[in-house]
Amino acid sequence: MSPDLSFIAAPMVNQSDFPFRRIAARYGATTVYTQMLSPERLIHDQEYLESHRRDLQYRIEESISTVVQLCGNNAEEIVEAGRKIQDLCDAIDLNLGCPQEVARDEHFGAYLLGQKDWPIVENIVSCMAQSFTVLVSTKIRLCQPSTKTVEFAERLQASGSSWITLHARTVSSRRRRQGAADLSEVKKLKESERLTIPVVSNGNVRVFDDLAKNLDYTGADGLMVGETLLGNPCLFSNDVLPDPVDISLEYLDICRLYPGVATLKTIQTHIRHFIDFQCTRRPWFKKLRVALNACTDLDDIEHLLRVKVPRWRGMTMKSAEEGSEHERDGIDLADSGVLWHLPPN
Ligand SMILES: Cc1cc2nc3c(=O)[nH]c(=O)nc-3n(C[C@H](O)[C@H](O)[C@H](O)COP(=O)(O)O)c2cc1C
């Protein structure tokens, strides 16, 4: 069955673990992507293959529409790797958007967007489409010049890509800070008469209202969100922010239910993101970061969330009310000066 592309959790290295995909799906993501996987490692590193197969297996218990993303530039290798996981996913995506140095050095991701490399990409996509039992999709950035993007997308369609996700930035605008995604380019893809496959818009969604605005403006068939979902995995379902501690505990519960797929570091990073999203400027946030890094297992993290954080939050409110600068539970409030109920950043 074709994945529902309405609301997609983006592929994110070290952050698209099953528990995170699960919580995103629980709160409205209709399809979730894995992080980009290395075909070479899926073929040659048994432990890597097994851990990703285990991670994908869980999705079957929960019937979550899942796309596995592969990177690389070698069609044979990509096909061989894809065959090892295609029984556990709904589609396989080719990463044509990674701007990182490793992609530049190994010539994959967004470094395949130049016209001279189009024949390589067309060959990879058509080998994938002919070999896999599941659908094939592509995730791209803007070509340079951006006017080439529509032509490239048409070629991907002709090669067998069942849909295209456009993260409408060029490879040189690597970070969000370096400008917003150019959603007019997504609109252009949708307006191209020769491009008939679905187009997914990716970029610039920061709050719930952006979902409808993005779809209205671009006319896209679906939306993919990355960074904002890291801070608020409930974004797709609600314009009310979840309590950051509650959502962290809920994520932790899912990690316990599906053990062995998210590393401690990944779990710590997710929880930092959930709390960071709303509480960066709280007086206790730095303490939380330090305490979170010091946790050595899930019980430690749970204790921190259930006991210490509520105490810090409550104490900060109380001390603000009383004008107190006293220290309690080893927490120095003298440096606070900021109430915890500041509006979200
Ligand atoms: C931590 C992180 C890891 C990412 N890893 C991948 C990846 O593995 N594959 C990919 O195609 N894009 C990756 N991206 C890019 C996102 O999928 C997405 O295209 C980008 O963040 C823009 O969407 P956003 O503004 O909603 O975050 C990553 C982004 C982040 C923040």
Per-residue pLDDT at 331 exceeds 90: no
Per-residue pLDDT at 215 exceeds 90: yes
pLDDT at 282: 86
pLDDT at 127: 98
Per-residue pLDDT at 126 exceeds 90: yes
Q: Tell me which residue has its CA closest to atom 15 in ligand 1.
A: 12
Of 15, 25, 10, 87, which Cα lies nearest the Cα of 56?
A: 87
Calculate mean pLDDT across residues 232-248.
93
Q: How far is the CA of 225 from the centre of ligand 1 (A)?
A: 8
Label residue 182 by pLDDT band (50, 70, 90).
very high
Burial label for 106, CB within 10 Å (0-12, 13-18, 19+), is: middle
Protein residues whose CB sits closer than 6 Å to any atom of ligand 1? 10-13, 15, 35-36, 69, 95, 97-98, 139, 167, 202-203, 205, 225-228
Considering just the CA atoms, what is the radius of gyration of the chain in Å? Answer: 22
Calculate mean pLDDT across residues 2-31.
97
**220: DSSP letter:** -
Q: How far is the CA of 226 from the centre of ligand 1 (A)?
A: 6
**10: DSSP letter:** P
Which among 15, 32, 167 is the best mutation to test ligand 1's pocket, defined by most ligand atoms within 8 Å of the CB? Answer: 167
- The helices-and-strands tally (H runs, E runs) of the chain is 15, 8
**73: DSSP letter:** S
Q: Tell me which residue has its CA closest to atom 12 in ligand 1.
A: 11
Among the residue ranges 26-30, 111-115, 118-122, 178-182, the one predicted with the least confidence is 178-182
Q: Tell me which residue has its CA closest to atom 13 in ligand 1.
A: 12
Per-residue pLDDT at 318 exceeds 80: no
Q: Tell me which residue has its CA closest to atom 5 in ligand 1.
A: 12
pTM, whole model, 2 decimals? 0.91
Residues 6+ apart with CB under 8 A from 122: 155, 156, 158, 159
Is 153 or 316 the better-scoring residue by pLDDT?
Answer: 153
Q: How far is the CA of 339 from the centre of ligand 1 (A)?
A: 33
Q: Tell me which residue has its CA closest to atom 24 in ligand 1.
A: 226
Q: How far is the CA of 15 from the centre of ligand 1 (A)?
A: 10
Q: How far apart (Å, rounded) are the C-alpha atoms in residues 137 and 98?
A: 15
Q: How far is the CA of 11 from the centre of ligand 1 (A)?
A: 6
Q: Tell me which residue has its CA closest to atom 20 in ligand 1.
A: 226
pLDDT at 178: 62
Q: Tell me which residue has its CA closest to atom 30 in ligand 1.
A: 12
Which among 7, 8, 12 is the best mutation to test ligand 1's pocket, defined by most ligand atoms within 8 Å of the CB? Answer: 12
Atom of ligand 1 at shortest range from CA of 95: 11
Atom of ligand 1 at shortest range from CA of 35: 8
Q: What is the mean pLDDT of the chain?
A: 89
Residue with tokens 């090669």: 159
Positions of E strands within the chain = 7-9, 31-37, 66-70, 91-96, 135-141, 164-167, 199-202, 222-225
* Structural contact between residues 82 and 129, judged by C-beta atoms closer than 8 angstroms: no
**100: DSSP letter:** S
Per-residue pLDDT at 339 exceeds 50: no
* Structural contact between residues 188 and 150, judged by C-beta atoms closer than 8 angstroms: yes
Six token digits for residue 65: 């529409």
Dihedral of alpha carbons 213, 215, 187, 95, sign: positive
Catalytic residue from among 71, 89, 98, 279: 98
Atom of ligand 1 at shortest range from CA of 181: 25
Q: How far apart (Å, rounded) are the C-alpha atoms in residues 226 and 196?
A: 25
Of 86, 74, 158, 90, which Cα lies nearest the Cα of 124?
A: 74
Q: How far is the CA of 99 from the centre of ligand 1 (A)?
A: 10
Q: Is 143 a catalytic residue?
A: no
Q: How far apart (Å, rounded) are the C-alpha atoms in residues 214 and 203?
A: 9
Which among 227, 229, 266 is the best mutation to test ligand 1's pocket, defined by most ligand atoms within 8 Å of the CB? Answer: 227
pLDDT at 140: 98
Per-residue pLDDT at 260 exceeds 50: yes
pLDDT at 336: 26
Calculate mean pLDDT across residues 116-123.
98
Q: How far is the CA of 227 from the centre of ligand 1 (A)?
A: 7
Share of the chain above pLDDT 70, in %: 89
